[in-house]
Structure 1
Amino acid sequence: MRRLVIFTAVAACAAALVTAAPAQADPVGTGWTLAFNDDFNGTAVDTAKWNFRTDVKAFSAQRPENVTVAGGLMSINLKQEAYAGKSFTGGGLISKQALRYGYYETRAKINDGVGWHSSYWLMAGDGSTTFGPERRTEIDGFEIDSKSSPTALNTNHSGVHAWNGTSTIDAYHPGSTYNTGLDLRQWHVYGIDWSETSVKFLIDGVLKYTAPYTPAQWTHDYTNIWLTSIGYGTSPDPAFLPTAVQFDYIKYWQRDYYLDNDGPAAYGYSETGTWLASTLNGWNYTSPSRYAACHSAGNTATWRPNLGAAGNYEVFVYKIAAANSDSNVRYDTVHNGVTSTSYVNGTTGTSGWVSLGSYSFAAGTAGSVKLTSSGSGCARADAVKFVRA
């Protein structure tokens, strides 16, 4: 079923009738749950979901007043005006919710006219700066610069940037700048499919680029969604102003669930007994791990996910292999009221994910995995993942 959306553009832009995308189906594959979305069907920005971009950078200052919601669209209005020492203003929205692996999708229409950098990307931050000290991951769904031509907008950049706060990690920047063969001033659908091993970039359902990106290479952050446009690359051309970049919707689906002993993924992690911080890294680059008092039995660590959907999940625990690790760690997996027990030897092999089996789980927080130390060596706790079968 298709729907028609009537929108009013910025001042001096004529009203137009646009055909919005069909109602979005789940991504390809099974087990997806819609975990974040905004269809921009209200009359104002939903500030429970969004922060405004407010930095001053390159050729423009970013203003909350430039972001409007009307007629089923979110518009970032681009203007020539003096503000905060700049001659032009842009803007944008940054999600308050931080997310990680899953499928992200938006439908967007880029402005005409030189001098603007419009983007849809994932990075930790609240919009006040793009140089937050906490950021490690940047994933660019699209970065479209209108600096090259006022009329031929067809070039896009997609890729991954590794950050260490305010500095980039120069050794790791997989990305691609390419001619899409499309007029990006028209409506197109842009997808980001982020998994533990790679990031895939799609336009109108067609895979355009795959960036290899594993947690062994660099830290995988929880990130915020950025929908923005700023003056960048060259001074904007006033002849094309005012204008707007527009977004029809933004959606995020989740399928797999990761729990850790630290950070946002620690929401379902708990311990009993005596536990200490370890110098051994966990599954995510430089992420900390924990260990129970060595040669002490009965210490427990529990991971309890909040599963968005019922179904079959394969459960993995991240084993940190070391000569003094516990040689007989017990793992109890609770699934639909049944407990399945597994044992893992932490002294053999290499560190990595170990499968505890595939089980049926109900939605919500009833399922769990509990580690119990045997007293043989030092039991180590890091992460558990529930991968939808």
Structure 2
Amino acid sequence: NMSWRTVHEPSASEVAARRANVKSPGDAVGLHDSVKLSQPATGRYVRMLGKERRSFYNPAPSTAQFGYSLYEFQVWGTGGSASAAYPALPGDQSGAYRTTFFDDFTGASLDRSKWRVVRTGQEMGSVNGESQAYVDSTNNIRTQNGSLSLEAKYCDNCTVAGGGTYDFTSGRIDTNTKFDFTYGKVSARMKLPVGDGFWPAFWMLGSDVDDPNVSWPASGETDIMENIGYGDWTSSALHGPGYSADGNIGARQTYPGGGTADQWHTYAVEWTPTGMRFYVDDRLVQETTRNKLESTRGEWVFDHDQYVILNLALGGAYPAGWNKVTQPYWGLPQSSVDRIAAGGVKAEIDWVRVEQKG
């Protein structure tokens, strides 16, 4: 015996805009709605009432309607209530930090006892609408002058991987099965290529990401550093159930004093049982506590093993969302293709370190 009360419905102008948004089925991508209530509401149950289906050209000029596809429906608390019930936190770890993983890439080649080379069509499939195939080649992954180079290469329609054909190759390595760990300070000194759609990243994934009963984003993802081609800023982020993709918990940092991404900088996260703190050159750029995350966004899934990843992606969803490029590749303009073809588009990593307590 419950009485429902309406706490939100779209305005007439919002309804009209939706009705006018008619596309072909192939172009009608899913929409991500974020509704902020005009005033706080409390309740135990939430009901969503779908009142009208979207129209599609099928084929033009005729229109048709499909059924509903609701992939996810989330309700977040405000996090502002003094009476919010925070879960009991685990204790922070005691003791001093000690180095448990380190590579400064001074060997003649990549140390395979520390790193796994990831290949498109083998260890992973294509993701995020990116244009590169990851391959195991010294053209893309090599050590030189005491640092690791992950370099992008262009070759029109000549790389076959995982059933697809690619115009670009690049490098991705990780510590999965070599070094998976829980909690610690994770840092790397890096120099990045700057250009629209170049997407170097230093990040971590939950080690259970390949378990079909878990998968992404329930595995957790920790983005220590991402750059999508803008010289003056990088971003950090957390992804998990209820806060993934465009809805991640993230921050952008701008280098002070005119610094740029194509200079050497140190990027780090300190991961503890109670939160995550992200740094650029020892400057705090994002802090997300477990209390705040669980009271406002969703489950904290950073209490189990993760592994470290270094990669250089090309184009795809994140760069395209900023640079709005669609041709000749999504998020990757011709000027960037020309630079890759000319050679020298690479992310350089001087060293990677993990420090842990205990």
Matched, 1:64 2:136: yes
Q: Who is 2:151 aligned against?
A: 77
**Closer/same/farther in 2, CA of residues 127 and 89 from structure 1, 3 Å limit:** farther
Counterpart-to-counterpart distance in 1, 2:188 and 2:245: 29
Select which of 34, 40, 51 maps to 2:116.
51
Distance change (3 Å), C-alpha of 1:177 and 1:183:
same
| TM superposition shift of 1:132 | 7.8
1:153-203 Cα shifts (integer Å, max 9, x gaps): 12211121114xxx9668973211233342010100111111111111111
What is the CA distance between 1:205 and its match in structure 2? 1.1
Q: Secondary structure at the match of 1:145?
A: coil
TM-score, structure 2 as length reference: 0.56
Indicate the larger mover: 212-221 or 37-46.
Answer: 212-221
Q: What is the Cα deviation at residue 113 of structure 1?
A: 2.6
- Structure-1 separation of matches of 2:210 and 2:273: 29
TM-aligned CA distance change 1:137 to 1:179, over 3 Å: same
Q: 2:290 aligns with which of 213, 222, 230?
A: 213
C-alpha contact 2:170 2:313 (8 A) present in aligned 1: yes
One-letter amino acid matched to 1:231 = L
SS at match of 1:240: helix
Letter in 2 for 1:239: D
Do the aligned partners of residues 203 and 67 (structure 1) sit closer, same or farther apart at CA in structure 2, a change above 3 Å counting?
same
Equivalence for 1:235:
332
In our comparison, the structure showing a higher alpha carbon Rg is 1
Hey, what's the Cα distance between the residues in 2 that align with 1:245 and 1:171?
A: 24
Q: How far does residue 238 in structure 1 lie from its aligned partner after superposition?
A: 2.4
- Choose which of 258, 261, 276 in structure 2 pairs with 1:184: 261
Relative to structure 1, the CA distance from residue 172 to residue 211 in structure 2 (aligned partners, 3 Å threshold; closer, same or farther) is farther
Aligned residues: 219
Q: Which residue of 2 aligns with 1:252?
A: 354
Q: Could you say if the C-alpha distance between residues 170 and 188 of structure 1 is closer, same or farther in structure 2, counting changes exceeding 3 Å?
A: closer
* 1:144-293 alignment, distance < 5 Å: 144-146=227-229, 152-163=230-241, 173-181=248-256, 182-213=259-290, 217-220=299-302, 221-232=304-315, 233=319, 234-235=331-332, 237-241=336-340, 242=343, 243-256=345-358
Kept in 2, the 8 Å contact 1:159–1:211? The answer is no
Instruction: Measure the CA separation in 1 of the matches of 2:350 and 2:245.
Output: 35
User: How does the TM-score come out when normalised to structure 1?
Assistant: 0.51
Q: 1-side partners of 2:187 and 2:232: how far apart?
A: 19
Identity value in percent: 21
| Larger relative strand fraction | 1
Q: Indicate the RMSD between aligned Cα atoms, in angstroms.
A: 2.9
1:89–1:230 Cα contact (<8 Å) kept: no
